[in-house]
Each structure stands twice: as C-alpha cells, then as structure tokens.
Amino acid sequence: MSSDGQATVFIDGEAGTTGLGIRDRLRHLPVTLRSIDPALRKDPQARREMMMAVDVVILCLPDAAAREAVDMADAMGTDAPRILDASTAFRTDPAWVYGFPEMDASQPDAIRKAARVSNPGCYPTGLIALLRPLVSAGLVPADYPVCINAVSGYSGGGRSMIEAHEREGGPAFELYGLGLGHKHIPEMTLYAGLAQAPIFVPSVGHFPQGMIVSVPLHLDRLPGRVGIADLHAALAAHYAGSDRIAVADPCAKLVADALAGTDRMELRVHGSDDARQAVLTARLDNLGKGASGAALQNLALMLGLEPPPSV
C-alpha cells in the first residue's frame, strides 16, 4: 500500500506496447504506479526489489522474461506480490486463473481472489468469446472441425513489428503462422472447450490497431436444425448486461480497425439459413480488449475496485 492507502502496482515492461497501454489506463483507477529507473528496467536486482515493494506486478514481457519474473516471485515466498501476466507463458497453467471475466458467471470472483492471473491473448479473446458459449449450450459440438481466419493490426507484433511497419513500411497484408503451430492454439482449444485443435490462419495488415477473428460454420454439421437466430440468441443471452462485449447485427462488410482505441468487442453471426452456412465474427482492438483494456479490468477485480467504464 502507498502512504495514502492506495494499492501499489509495478508494470514490468512498462515501456513496451502493452505496458504503455496499461500505464495510460491506470489513470482511471485509484492505484499508485511504481516505476524503476528506465536505465535499470532490465536489471534483475532492481526488478526484484520493486516486485517485493508492491501489491501487484503486471508482467508485460516476452514469455521467457515473464517466466524469469515468476521464478523471482516464487523465490520470495510469502513476500511475493500478486501477479497479472500479459504474456502467453501461463495461460493454460491450471495454477493460474484465466483473466476473462465474461467467460463464466464465476470467473470475476475467481479473478478477485487469485494470486496469479493470466491475461488472455488477443486472438483467443475473440475466438473464446464466440465459441465457448455455443459449445457450452450444445449448439456447436466440441469436436466440430473449427477453422479460424483472423487479421490483426501490426501493433500485435509489439515494438519490433511496429518499427518495421512505421519506419520501413511493412507489407499491406500477409498470412503467417502457416506452420500451424501458433502459440495461441492451446489456449483457444482449452477455453473454447474444443476437443481438437482448430486450424488457425492469422494475418497482419498495414494498420496499427484492430482485429477481426472469424469462424465459418456449416450449419448442417451442427446438431438438429440450428440456425443463425439460435446462434445469435445464445451469444446475446451470454453477454447480456456486459458493457464491453456486444452482440451486434450481421453486416455485409466489416472494417478491422473500427474499434481501435476502445476496450470493447463486437460479436456477430452472419450467414444464410437457406445456404445453411454461417460466419461468426469478433471485432476488437488487439491492444484494448485484446491486451491492456482486459488487463485493467482484471487489475480492478484483483484489487476489489470498480472496473472503469469501457471506452
């Protein structure tokens, strides 16, 4: 606690893309940010001392550095701070709580009580939001052969990809992950409730922030005579009352960066009952609900604070 009774927070990786986004949003919460001298930001001793001095540390680091930080915390025993990790390192670790409050009715309470919370990945946020309620409701079978197409703004690749696009000029659009071993697949499989790994085809475009995750569905491969309205209704029921996740009407075109700068996400069910085909889409800001906005939601829950209204 700080002298004025506010919880203290250290962002390890404060100068990175996700760290800066969280730092900016912290002004909406009554917490005290503690920072280390930028010259010492990678110094293990300085980081260890700062970790021991705060209530919560938010890790905004590459996976390997996040694992090192958690090792440091493990060595502190009961002096260790609570941890919110933005990396991929612990997202499927059963000892950590997955920081997706809208996932289940019990999830906000689990986050509130957790010592260690993993912040969801940007693509998994869209995919899990779309599929988990439909799988739970029995509308999409767990063994449906899911294919995911997705596009992200270039900030999704962190500082190095931002520099590549802004200084050198990046490609207009490129597919990647074509080896089909993307780091988000285990997280998507687990929390969407799928029995087998989806085929995931991510891509990146020459725009800074924004994301669309889309999943085509053959309606005749779903149980019974499930139609577009059933899928829409199940999602609308699950997210009723959420100020961050909206289930919107279908549309013919979807612009990827329309929610850039917000912490919101829009879900849609497009398609045709006559053609027996649907496409589920999630649109979000990869740096908003896909990273820093979600981290602020989780931090507020961890500290028993009211999450600030969504921008």
Ligand X SMILES: CC(=O)N[C@@H](CCC(=O)OP(=O)(O)O)C(=O)O
Ligand Y SMILES: NC(=O)C1=CN([C@@H]2O[C@H](COP(=O)(O)OP(=O)(O)OC[C@H]3O[C@@H](n4cnc5c(N)ncnc54)[C@H](OP(=O)(O)O)[C@@H]3O)[C@@H](O)[C@H]2O)C=CC1
**Binding of ligand Y by 286 (CB under 6 A):** yes
The interface partner of residue 199, options being ligand Y, ligand X, none and the CB cut-off 5 to 8 Å by kind, is none
Near ligand X in 64-93, by CB under 6 A: 88
**Binding of ligand Y by 298 (CB under 6 A):** no
Is-contact 217 134, C-beta < 8 A? Answer: no
Among 8, 36, 62, 277, binds ligand Y (CB under 6 A): 62
Chain-centre distance for alpha carbon 12: 18
Binding mask 163-182 for ligand Y (x = CB under 6 A): --------------------
CA distance 291 to 100: 11
Is-contact 202 154, C-beta < 8 A? Answer: no
CA distance 189 to 3: 44
CA distance 294 to 306: 14
- Both tokens assigned to 149: 């197409």
**Binding of ligand X by 122 (CB under 6 A):** yes
- Both tokens assigned to 19: 């760290």
Among 13, 81, 101, 156, binds ligand X (CB under 6 A): 156
Count other C-beta atoms under 10 Å from residue 23's C-beta: 18
Residue 122 falls in the annotated catalytic set: yes
Closest to 284 (Cα-Cα) out of 252, 307, 253, 257: 257
In angstroms, the first-to-last Cα distance of the chain is 28
**Binding of ligand X by 16 (CB under 6 A):** no
**Binding of ligand Y by 60 (CB under 6 A):** yes
Among 81, 121, 202, 307, binds ligand Y (CB under 6 A): 121
**Binding of ligand X by 202 (CB under 6 A):** yes
Near ligand Y in 8-27, by CB under 6 A: 12-13, 15-19
Say how many residues touch ligand X, by CB under 6 A.
Answer: 10
Among 108, 158, 250, 261, binds ligand Y (CB under 6 A): 158
Three-state secondary-structure class, residue 164: helix
Residues with catalytic function: 122
* Residues making contact with ligand Y (CB under 6 A): 12-13, 15-19, 41-42, 60-63, 65, 86-88, 121-122, 155-156, 158-159, 286-287, 290-291
